[in-house]
Chains A and B, each alone.
Chain A
Amino acid sequence: MSRRSTHGTRVAPSLVIWLVVVWMLLWGTFDVATAVYGLVVALLVLVLFPLPSHRWNIFRRPWRLVVLTVYVLADLFGSALRFVADTVRNSAKVSAAIIAVPVLSDVDHIIASAANVVSLAPGKFVLQIDRPGGIWYVYASGVRTAEDAHKAYDDVIDMQRVAVWAFGDETEAPAARSRAQEAKRQRDRSAVRKPQRPSPIEAVAASEAQSRGAESGDAEFHGAATRENDHDRDGGDDPGDFDENRREGR
């Protein structure tokens, strides 16, 4: 892989160029003297504050980056308006959800960047990254029904797929696409089984019932599944199913 060839070099050329560009933008003057000072400062910064040796050139595929930017901006506007409308109408009774969404990449910096892209749009942010399990826990506001939760899930998967496509290398983009389809399929299948809408109190009670059920053994837990309980159990099952698929995929 081309981006691993810079292993061990402390001063990566792309990083130097980026820092010089930032320096010149900060000064707002574009002449040789500023560039020279910028170069000195950039080298000083890189030598004094070394970054991890694993580097990654984000501008390798500018076209994809442009597509991602347009996608994010469109999403930013759309979801900002939706968030504002929802907040203005329902500020007294806010309704939100924390949903588990499978991560589509195995590379740390791509996961982190994709999480940032997802968190940028209003209405959603990545609350917790379960790196070994490959799961994001995404806080989504304006979620009232199970359908809303599924829609938020699909949105996050779509956004993530575009982000991995833009940031990742040639092998990651198709892998992310198939994983996205797989993850959506898993989710949609469970959607048929849980069209109910638990009220917040019920959801809390159900998740507590579930944890009690988990403590006292799996069989009893499945037997004790009520309507509300069913909803939560399915949600908890999704990441696990996905993990199994991923292991098989490797």
Chain B
Amino acid sequence: MSVRDWISAVLLVSGALFCVIGAWGMVRLPDTLSRLQAATKPQTLGLLLILAGTAVRLEPHFAVGLVLAGLFQVITAPVLSQLFGRAAYRTGGVDRSTLVVDELSQRLRAGRE
């Protein structure tokens, strides 16, 4: 195996590992907010690693398409997690026993008076 193969293999396997952990977190974690974390974050890193691993093996000419995929993932994932998180918080998708501190609920209560 050449150096390039090794780099690609390491990136692909570690990327896949992060995706698996994200999926496992989805199953194991208790509430929407923590599941959202598992679904969006390790998976973003996993996808970036897999794209990088693939790009190493490809002609530069084809690899630019992968750069675009990574870029859009990085732009869209945080927006999605914010919108879903906000909706989940407001509709009771939060297991409050997991929260050590919740400064938002304090503020919301104060605002309601």
Contacts and interface: CB of A to CB of B under 8 A. Distances in A.
Given A125-B81, A137-B107, A214-B110, A83 B37 contact: yes
Given A120-B77, A125-B82, A87 B21 contact: yes
Interface residues of A, number: 61
Contacts, number: 167
Nearest to A197: B100
B16 interface: no
Contacts of A211: 106, 109-110
B interface, over-half SS:
helix
B101 A80 contact: no
A14 interface: no
Interface residues of B, number: 50
B53 interface: no
Given A94-B29, A119-B78, A130-B107, A99 B101 contact: yes
Contacts of B33: 96, 127, 139, 141
16 contacts: A77-B45, A80-B42, A84-B21, A87-B21, A97-B102, A122-B45, A125-B36, A125-B85, A127-B85, A141-B37, A149-B101, A210-B106, A214-B110, A235-B101, A239-B103, A239-B107
Considering the complex of A and B, which 7 residue pairs feature the smallest CB-CB distances, nearest first? A122-B41, A119-B78, A211-B109, A100-B103, A137-B104, A97-B101, A116-B78
Interface of B: 18, 21, 25, 28-31, 33-34, 36-38, 40-42, 44-45, 48, 61-62, 64-65, 67-68, 74-75, 77-79, 81-82, 85-86, 89, 95-107, 109-110, 113
